[in-house]
């Protein structure tokens, strides 16, 4: 039976141990960009022997942001910021994975500046805001946003 401190290999990714920090929304970004506080948190996690960090949600489009302080991968301009974060984690000896997301019906106009989106119109039970139904073409556009965000995450390391 493996020990928690034994390395773990997932495909070609070797993680120094089996401690994983699950995706947790830390809300330490500024306008979607990495901050010194976020860098310090992730360095501290790796120094505390976390082998793999799964980021808090990273929005793939501005209309998919859930909370202020969330990281972004919605444009190519976010790549240097994300790279700064991955470099800090790698330099400390850890690995990092990006949790890409879109708020969908859970979005709020005060945060995104637009009406929430969903496969069909539905009123959010907490926000009391009705989502706008996506057309078939818009669903494919949203899928493409995930593809682009994933490519940015890969480019950022």
Q: What is the pLDDT of residues 13-43, one digit of tens each?
A: 999 999 999 999 999 999 999 999 999 999 9
pLDDT of residue 2: 77
If we measure between CA atoms, which residue out of 104, 86, 93, 94 comes closest to residue 143? 104
The H or E element that residue 74 is part of is none
8 Å CB contact between 128 and 115: no
pLDDT of residue 37: 98
Burial (CB < 10 A; 0-12, 13-18, 19+), residue 41, is middle
| Chunked mean pLDDT (size 10), the chain, 157 residues | 88 95 95 97 96 97 96 98 98 97 94 94 93 95 98 98
pTM of this prediction?
0.93
pLDDT of residue 42: 97
The two structure tokens encoding residue 96: 């990092």
């Amino acid at each position: 039976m493996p020990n928690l401190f034994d390395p773990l290999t997932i495909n070609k990714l070797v993680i120094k141990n089996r401690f994983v920090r699950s995706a947790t929304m830390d809300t330490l970004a500024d306008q979607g960009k990495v901050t010194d506080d976020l860098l310090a948190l992730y360095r501290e996690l790796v120094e505390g022997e976390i082998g793999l960090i799964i980021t808090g949600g990273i929005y793939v489009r501005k209309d998919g942001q859930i909370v202020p302080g969330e990281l972004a991968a919605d444009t190519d301009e976010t790549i240097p910021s994300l790279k700064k974060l991955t470099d800090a984690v790698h330099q400390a000896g850890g690995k990092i994975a990006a949790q890409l997301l879109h708020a969908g019906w859970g979005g709020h106009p005060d945060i995104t500046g637009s009406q929430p989106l969903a496969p069909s119109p539905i009123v959010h039970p907490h926000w009391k805001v009705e989502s706008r139904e996506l057309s078939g073409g818009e669903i494919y556009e949203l899928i493409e946003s995930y593809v682009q965000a994933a490519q940015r995450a890969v480019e950022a390391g």
